[in-house]
Amino acid sequence: MDNIRLSKSCIDQEEIDAVTDVLHREYLGMGQDVKKFECDLKEFFGRDVTLVNTGTAALHLAVQGAGIQNGDEVLVQSLTYVACFQAIRATGGIPVACEVDDETLTIDLVDAERKLTSKTRAIMPVHYAGNPGNLDEIYAFAKKHNLRVIEDASHAFGTIYKGRKIGSFGDIICISMDGIKNITSGEGGMIITEDPLCQKIVKDARLLSVQNDTDSRFAGTRTWIFDVNQPGWRYHMSNIMAAIGYTQLRKLPRFKEVRQRLAKVYQKELSSVAGVKIIPCNYDDVVPHIFTVRITNGKRDEVKQFLNDHGVATGMHYRPNHLLSLFSGNQDNSTLKHTELVYGQLITLPLHVDMTEEDVMYICNILKKAL
């Protein structure tokens, strides 16, 4: 069997044709294709969507739009990609690292409550591996403590929570569309919110906070006489990226079916294997971006190497942020021992749309042999 990649972009002639059409029109920046993609996404989610050039940019603008300022604290699980912590820090905020729930690997609200202070302004739940955990409890927690909720739903495009699409409800939701996510725009991200002030901030701030420049660019012009009244960034999406994105959005039903079907095979094959712990998910609802397992017999590194030796690429999502030099002094790291335990057990197995069920069976059989 050929080597099995951990993840990959899944594109074909449709994306090539869409990008070629943009190139032929010779308007490559932010214009009619970005507007079309935002309209398509509004129809998908039932809410306004602001597109940007990366998921990290989406998180940064969401934190800015939520009003996080110097010294404000944001509760966020340590077991997440560093983008969350960098986005909070970029506004002058302080990311407060929290433990993860042992089952879902989403934020542990018991630990989050212990870390509340008079400076806490928001909570950033991470939908780890596509699983949103218990969002009802998170929003109840936020309401109780008067916090904004900034969902990092980068892994969860297409996931359903209690009958509703992630992104179709909630305070502020951020989704990544980098090259290996559930859909891609090459790179890219989005912010979804019904807060009009937050919408105004993020729409202007993605274009260096040149006021109302979005409307001008969508009309094929530029704003030449303008004001700037807040920090802004060059975070806007290009027409090239949008063309890939709206083409991929049309393919989401197939992408969703394949990802869920492959995850169910992993789930069936590994759920009762001694020494392996998986996240309990309903893959009729969750659309997984990654499939992670925990090797609980102390042999994680040996298992990972055995898989790699047999042509199976693996990863580890993620190194906890409190172990990174920039963020290690933000809190008492002795409160994050469970996160460190989980990190020492994690392996990410291959999952992408170009895989087959036979690939998954091969991976599971190799993993079982490694144990």
Domains and CATH numbers, the chain: 13-250 (3.40.640.10), 253-370 (3.90.1150.10)
Given this model, what pLDDT does residue 331 score? 81
Q: Per-residue pLDDT tens for 5-18?
A: 999 999 999 999 99
Which pLDDT band, with edges at 50, 70 and 90, does 209 fall under? very high
Q: Is the previous residue joined to 283 through a cis bond, with omega within 30 degrees of 0?
A: no
Given this model, what pLDDT does residue 321 score? 97
pLDDT at 1 > cutoff 80: no
CB within 8 Å of 267: residues ≥ 6 apart? 278, 281, 283
For the question of whether the overall pTM of this predicted structure is more than 0.85, the answer is yes
Given this model, what pLDDT does residue 176 score? 98
3-state DSSP assignment of residue 275: coil
Q: What is the mean pLDDT of the chain?
A: 96
pLDDT at 305 > cutoff 90: yes
What's the average model confidence in pLDDT over 276-295?
98
Poorest-pLDDT segment among 66-75, 189-198, 221-230:
221-230
Q: Per-residue pLDDT tens for 36-84?
A: 999 999 999 999 999 999 999 999 999 999 999 999 999 999 999 999 9
Q: Per-residue pLDDT tens for 106-122?
A: 999 999 999 999 999 99
How far is 24 from 197, CA to CA, in rounded Å? 37
What's the average model confidence in pLDDT over 228-240?
96
Percent of the chain with pLDDT over 90: 93
pLDDT at 181 > cutoff 90: yes
Q: Are the C-beta atoms of 173 and 158 separated by less than 8 Å?
A: no
Q: Are the C-beta atoms of 103 and 87 separated by less than 8 Å?
A: no
> Residues for the chain: how many in total?
371
What's the average model confidence in pLDDT over 325-346?
93
Given this model, what pLDDT does residue 153 score? 98
